[in-house]
Chain A
Amino acid sequence: MIGIYLILFIPLVGMSLQAFYGATPKAAIINLRCNILSLISSVWLAIDVLWNGSLFAFDRMFYIDSFNVYLIALTAFVGLTTSIFSGPYMQHEQDSGRLSPKRLKLYYSMYQGFMLAMYLVLTTNNMGVMWVAMEGATLATVLLVSLYRTPESVEAAWKYFILCGVGIAQALFGTVLLYFAAEQKLGVGGDALLWTVLHENSSSLDPAIVGLAFVFLLVGYGTKIGLVPLHSWLPDAHSEGPTPMSAILSGLLLNDALYAVVRCKMLVEGALNNHLAGHLMMGFGLLSFLVASLLLHRQTDIKRLFSYSSIEHMGLMTFAFGVGSPWATFAALFHMTTHSLTKSAIFVTVGHASQLAGTQRIEKIRGLILTQPKIGWGLLIGTVAIAGFPPFGVFASEFLVLVATMHDYPWITPLLLLGIGLAFAGLFRHIQAMVYGEPPEGQTPITANLWPVILHLALVLWLGLAIPDFLGNWFNQATLLISGGLPQ
């Protein structure tokens, strides 16, 4: 129980501490410590939920069940490993004169602010508060996108702000409609926006209004997932901001937005008794998946390349949640984990690679393995993992999605295979030249801490070979919760 309060309290304290110490050399250590504490409390919370089942806190304002507790733990873990990477990385950026101490302070306090918003999205039981926290996450990160103050970064931040702001406003309209539908049944009062209350009464809600609400909620939160055609902010924001931020945006924010959509879908399915919500998600997901894998081929910036890969994977997850059978849901949850671990590892390596080459342009990054084998191999193995090669976890989860699709919608499977093939080709045509080949003259190794990368990729490898019992159990429980059945 206390775990919930701690997980919200620690980033809050961290944020205020960084407002004072953010510009000093201690900032990186404080950031690291806050994230370690968050991880400990998230594990505590997870164990609590594992033993005692789902729990409420603070007058039902917070609700933890097996679905969100695993995402909280994942968020805390990726937040921690990224902060291990971010310390030396930001130091390097400061030393090379790209950032002033004042902006570093903004960076560190908003790092914690972003984590706070993420934990709030995941823990809250109130759909309105979820919206507020999601918007808060945009507000926390928007100034980080323009941290370098280059014309490109200002443009990216403006696009991010406007697109996500307008997008998420649609989700608020959806929330209002949901509240409207609930109020007719449950009466006026604060309870009608609680997810648990809505879920209990979902069968009695007016289907017409709830259906309308879901369209708005999907478009709203879908903007944050980066679903095509609402995705154009995502590659910009990922490529122009500091790299640790790209790692947490890709590894965490997208997941949490998808989490919000899935929560809404659970409500809507109960009210509608048809597959409208699922079909909408399948359509959007498939479109994002295919378009992004095509766009991968025409990228010139290494961070943009991997942001399109994020869109592609988020599309696949949205599709799988849309299919909605227990197997597909299990696969989607599994894919959420493997994708976040792999993608944040890749962004860490990409950060080092671009510091090494002094640029993010793909054509200028050459000979990574010859200059600094650790970074080169890290990037290569990470790409192999994200492209879905066995024995890595992404292969296992993508394979499960394929099997589940084969079972329910066999005619879509060829499209999925096509997308996976396209994405593979799109990634490797760029990566091959970057890791192999002759390094340009004067390229020298940099200090790089690749432990986060090794840890993440080892975990993904482990997940690909065998899902540990407790995690499998966890996925099963979450699947049961979302799809109403166990995969077998």
Chain B
Amino acid sequence: MSIADLNLYQQAILLLAGLIALTSFLMLGQSRLVRLVRVFALQGFLLALATAMAANVLNYPHLYISAGLNLLMKGILIPMLLHRLIRRLGLHRVMDTIEHPARVMMGGATLLIFSYYVSLPVINHSPLFTLNAIAVSLAVVLLGMLLMITRKQAVAHVVGFMSIENGLFFAAVVSTYGMPMIVELGIAFDVLVAAVLFGVFFFQINASIDSLNVDHLSKLSEVDK
């Protein structure tokens, strides 16, 4: 099946899926925190766009609410919150060193291929573009984890965490046209509370180790030292 056989909506979703995966890779390679947050906001924006498009084309009005919520939270509110925290904690000039950037990127690419491999069973009963969308959303989840593993700054961990949520949201939108409204609202509530709590934690961590480098959080260990 070639890509030209798909209708316009499906092609657009595929394009957005590609762009969302691209933003994940951009985050992986971005060492400045302020720009990292900007790329994250862009990802949220793309996600909201995909959702709104699905709502329009497939005629599921409840998806408009999801799109609006997503735009508001992931595109505007959380990036703004992170931005302000970065400024207030004086982190806007901090470079988060990425060790072995080339290897991290290769690892990311491997994860993307792995996601396609894992999602293959899904293809049996669904159109081609669902496979792509599910594979990309799984990849965004895994890339978010990779981001958290390779970084030392707590802010980057939060961005990774939120981008995992983005991946999940994208999976829900393209494969199942969103979750039931009550679940959707519940998830949004959880994400919002989590964002606020992360802010609280930045201050607590900063007060306790005088930086947000979580590598310094190493007092507790599995066995006695």
Contacts and interface: CB of A to CB of B under 8 A. Distances in A.
A381 interface: no
A60 interface: no
B125 A154 contact: no
B166 to A, nearest CB: 10
A129 interface: yes
Contact of B180 (A155, A177, A193, A235): A193
Given A190-B180, A206-B125, A299-B224, A162 B168 contact: no
A190 B181 contact: yes
B194 A139 contact: yes
A128 B179 contact: yes
B186 A176 contact: no
A176 B179 contact: yes
B99 interface: no
Interface stretch (B72-80, B100-108, B204-212): B204-212
B182 A165 contact: no
A151 B171 contact: no
A212 interface: yes
B223 A179 contact: no
Contacts of A193: 179-180, 183
Which range contains the number of A residues in contact with the other chain? 35 or more
B175 A180 contact: yes
Contact of B121 (A169, A212, A235): A212
Nearest to B179: A128
A300 B225 CA distance: 9
B183 to A, nearest CB: 3
Contacts, number: 143
Contact of A300 (B134, B201, B224): B224
B7 interface: no
Contact of B182 (A126, A146, A157, A173): A126
Interface string B168-182: 100110011101111
Interface string B153-173: 010010001001101100110
A176 B140 CA distance: 15
A132 interface: yes
Interface string B90-121: 00000000000000000000000000001001
Contacts of A152: 219-220
A164 to B, nearest CB: 11
A159 interface: yes
A259 interface: no
Nearest to A127: B183
Given A139-B194, A159-B217, A209-B122, A172 B148 contact: no
Which range contains the number of B residues in contact with the other chain? 35 or more
Given A162-B157, A184-B126, A176 B180 contact: no
Contacts of B134: 180
B27 interface: no
Prevailing SS type, chain A contact patch: helix
A166 interface: yes
A156 interface: yes
A165 B190 CA distance: 10
B3 interface: no
Contacts of A128: 179-180, 182-183, 186-187
A183 interface: yes
A213 B187 CA distance: 19
Nearest to B181: A190
B61 to A, nearest CB: 13
Interface string A123-157: 00010110111011001001100100111101111
Interface string B113-146: 0000010011011100000001001100100010
Contacts of B194: 135, 139, 161, 165
Contact of A143 (B182, B197, B207, B218): B197
A176 B177 CA distance: 10
A9 to B, nearest CB: 18
Contact of A166 (B161, B177, B190, B205): B161
B222 interface: yes
A146 B204 CA distance: 9
B193 interface: yes
Nearest to B224: A300
Interface string A187-207: 011100100000000000010
Given A173-B138, A179-B176, 4 more contacts: A149-B207, A152-B219, A155-B217, A193-B179
28 contacts: A126-B180, A126-B183, A132-B187, A135-B194, A139-B193, A139-B194, A143-B200, A154-B217, A155-B218, A156-B220, A159-B217, A161-B194, A162-B157, A162-B161, A166-B148, A169-B141, A172-B187, A173-B141, A173-B168, A176-B171, A176-B175, A176-B176, A206-B124, A208-B124, A209-B121, A232-B222, A298-B223, A299-B224
Interface of A: 61, 126, 128-129, 131-133, 135-136, 139, 142-143, 146, 149-152, 154-159, 161-162, 165-166, 169-170, 172-173, 176-177, 179-180, 183-184, 188-190, 193, 206, 208-209, 211-212, 232, 235-236, 239-240, 295, 298-300
Rank and list the top 3 A-B pairs by shortest CB-CB distance, nearest first.
Answer: A128-B183, A132-B186, A208-B121
